[in-house]
Amino acid sequence: MDDEEWLASMSSNKPEWEYHEICLWLPHKPETVEDIANDMATNGFRQDRAIATYEGKILDGRHRYEAALKAGVEPIFAEFQGTKGEAIAYVTSENVARRHLNTKEKEFFYEKRTTYLGVQDRGGDRGNQYQSGNRSNDRLAPTQAQHAEAMGVGEATIRRWERDRKEIVADPELAAKAKTPEGYQEAKKEVQKRRKATQEEANKIAKLKSLGERSEAESSNVNKKLDKYREQGIDVDEVESQGDADRARDNYREQQRPITEMADAIAKILIDTKDYRFVASLARAAYSKQGELEHAYNLITAEGNYNV
């Protein structure tokens, strides 16, 4: 097969292609189409960036396809060979971990990816270890760590996404709303709103948690009462006990101590040196960004703190 025959086999006579559902999990960005079209108008369609098709539809390369139409360039196609799970893995690898998707775009892709691939619960709950949909009985669903690696995010991010996803899927009304990226974010806000304790509930939860910290004998009873709040969908872990607040304050002070000590040492040097050029150089170095030095000057001279 010569080059022309090879190129002909990679092209398609279909007048208009549809997009595969996996392709539509990714955001569409008209500005990207415009940039690629401008490049194609000059350099043509890159032979090493063929548009991937799957099940008779475009799997990957939506922006390249639309750019080729816009630039009047003949696009090149290549059929992806593999299972649907492998197709998802391919699109994830080619787009999600590499492209500059924002957090909300990645989260929506994760929800769609997980709907098909599934995800293992922490602790190995086998009830959710196998793929949902057209699953194979010999294939385990990815773990949260594996999803995190594939998506290019931290495992803690996946845990947060998974918690929201489960609650959205469990509510038919929210699940119906979450069909689009915008709708998914609205549904997410709703589940987070439901979790948030009222001020009265937060006060009671904080007191219970403080009681459990002070008395080991009461800890079992406290946990039972906290579980009742959890059953109502309230995010108990977001409520600080007095002990939590004290520890957070102490940790903050401990973190700030070296900075405070260094600031005191610099102040002593400035007082002892009386070298105004040295002080001016230090000020310029400390407030190097536009407007910072002026802001510092205004703070020092405000309300008679210092007379210039």
Mind listing the pLDDT tens digit for each residue in 25-78?
999 999 999 999 999 999 999 988 999 999 999 999 999 999 999 999 999 999
Distance CA 180, CA 176 (A): 9
Q: How confident is the model at residue 92 (pLDDT cuts 50, 70, 90)?
A: very high
- The one-letter amino acid code at 303 reads E
What are the domain boundaries of the chain?
3-81, 91-195, 199-239, 275-308
**CATH, range 3-81:** 3.90.1530
Sequence-separated contacts (24+) of 60-64 with Cβ below 8 Å: 60/23, 60/90, 60/91, 60/94, 60/95, 62/19, 62/23, 62/26, 62/28, 63/28, 63/29, 63/32, 63/33, 63/36, 64/36
Range of lowest pLDDT (21-30, 113-122, 236-245): 236-245
SS (HEC) of 223-277: HHHHHHHHHCCCCHHHCCCHHHHHHHHHHHHHHHHHHHHHHHHHHHHHHHHCCHH
The reported pLDDT for the residue numbered 42 is: 93
